[in-house]
Structure 1
Amino acid sequence: MNTNTENKDITANATVPQADTSEPIDFTYIENARKPVGELGGTVLDDMNESHAALTEWGFAHLHFGSTVLDVGCGGGNALRLAMHQDPGAAFFGIDYSDVSIEKATAFNGEAVMSGRLSLKKASVSSLPFGDGFFDTVYSVESYFFWPDLPNDMREICRVLKSGGTFAIIVEMVAGDMSDRFEKITEHLHMNVLAPEQLAEVYRQAGFTDVTYDWDKEKGWLVMQGRKA
């Protein structure tokens, strides 16, 4: 289902960015997207669970999870719920550096946590609390923009993957093809938003091979994945 390969010329077909809304941007609210805190952070996570659901399901349709799966930046936990529904036989793990995110994700997936099928930990992508070669699949939804050291963090993800394992990024913000509203948000939050080929190059430099992506330009959705050799 990955229709664009790593050598795809992504500059050939310009597209119209997503439609803007005239609604003013509440930056106090938006700032909680980086690291949700307090009651407002909980509200942001609830909203993200709902607003990112369609994007997440679309991205997951491109993946085969395997038996051990890690969600990096698990947020409010809906991506984990959708992934567990897609692959009932896998064991799932989630990390986030926000206390509120871990609390929300735990409450949202209480049954899976209680049964031992899902394990959640407060941790940073820069120092993952797992051994080498532990996971079949690692994915991240709408999170890499905020990582403190993207090249290093990608290598850390590569470390915890098994040989042949897959790392996937699913996002709806793509450099060079964003609405004015998204541009203002990324600038205000100092988000590191890359174009597809830029992100693919970070993958390759981190040690991933077979880097492919599918970019739904009409919706602005991107899923990219690479394999650990």
Structure 2
Amino acid sequence: MQNNQQHQHLNIVDSLLMQMFGRPKGILGRLGGFILARTKRDFTQWVINLLEVQPDDKVLEVGFGPGVGIEILAATVSRGYIAGVDYSKEMVKQARVRNAKAIETGLVALQYGSVEKLPFADDTFDKALAINSMQVWSDAMAGLLEIWRVMDVGGKIALGFTSHSGQSSTGLSEMLTAAGFTETHLVETDQGFCVLATK
């Protein structure tokens, strides 16, 4: 009986955490977005630095959350383009508010959608990133194959995970290689890790 109650309690906690941070929605999603925006900025900046984003790059962020990464990218990219896809309508709303000026000028476009069906043409982006996102994709390999498809030859991808993400670095390089990427390497920090690769 007690085990069953503990199991039910864990399921409720998992469900709440998923609503706040995994695929945020509703009031919990809004709260989760504010928490993520405050706690993830330094790590997001670190991942973007690893990508060596240039002013004329076309950059894709998958699972942009409250839009902090998009905001950082918009300060670097002046002649390129930044696109974002997120599976949470609540996060799309928050990120659009956070990046309203850059959206108005046409530098940034953010939309609701899934990594498994990206709404972009082949060979569109020079850089792509996903931070604390891949672990909630419904099909990680399909997502990586889609990112590979929309990236230009020579483009770089960064998959970043904070220490709280629950994601292990084991097997990620092999997944990227299986999706067609090359030159994969792992970079670690006290806040988490990032796997980088090239198309």
Q: CA deviation at 1:28?
A: 5.6
Q: CA deviation at 1:27?
A: 4.9
User: Where does structure 1 differ by over 2 angstroms across 4 or more consecutive aligned residues?
Assistant: 26-29, 86-90
8 Å CA contact 1:169–1:224 kept in 2: the answer is yes
8 Å CA contact 2:78–2:107 kept in 1: the answer is no
8 Å CA contact 1:139–1:168 kept in 2: the answer is yes
Task: Report the structure, 1 or 2, having the larger helix content.
Answer: 2
Aligned partner letter, 2:182: T
Separation of aligned partners in 2, 1:166 and 1:27? 33
The corresponding residue for 1:139 is 129
Q: CA deviation at 1:159?
A: 0.3
TM-score (norm 1): 0.76
SS in 1 for 2:50: coil
The corresponding residue for 1:172 is 162
Distance 1:28 1:159, change over 3 A: closer
Q: Which runs of 5+ in 1 are unaligned?
A: 1-25, 174-181, 187-192
8 Å CA contact 1:65–1:90 kept in 2: the answer is no
Q: CA deviation at 1:194?
A: 2.8
Of the three residues 19, 23, 37, the one matched with 2:25 is 37
The corresponding residue for 2:63 is 73
The corresponding residue for 2:168 is 194
- 1:107 paired with 2:97, answer yes
The corresponding residue for 1:59 is 47
8 Å CA contact 1:144–1:150 kept in 2: the answer is yes
8 Å CA contact 2:43–2:191 kept in 1: the answer is no
8 Å CA contact 2:24–2:32 kept in 1: the answer is yes
Give % identity: 26
User: Superposition pairs for residues 182-221 of structure 1, below 5 Å?
Assistant: 182=164, 186=166, 193-195=167-169, 197-216=170-189, 219-221=190-192
Query: What is the CA RMSD across the aligned residues, in angstroms?
Result: 1.8
Separation of aligned partners in 2, 1:199 and 1:104? 30
Q: Deviations over 1:83-118 (max 9, x none)?
A: 222333331011011111111110011101111110
Q: CA deviation at 1:124?
A: 0.2
Separation of aligned partners in 1, 2:89 and 2:194? 27
SS in 2 for 1:126: helix
The corresponding residue for 1:224 is 195
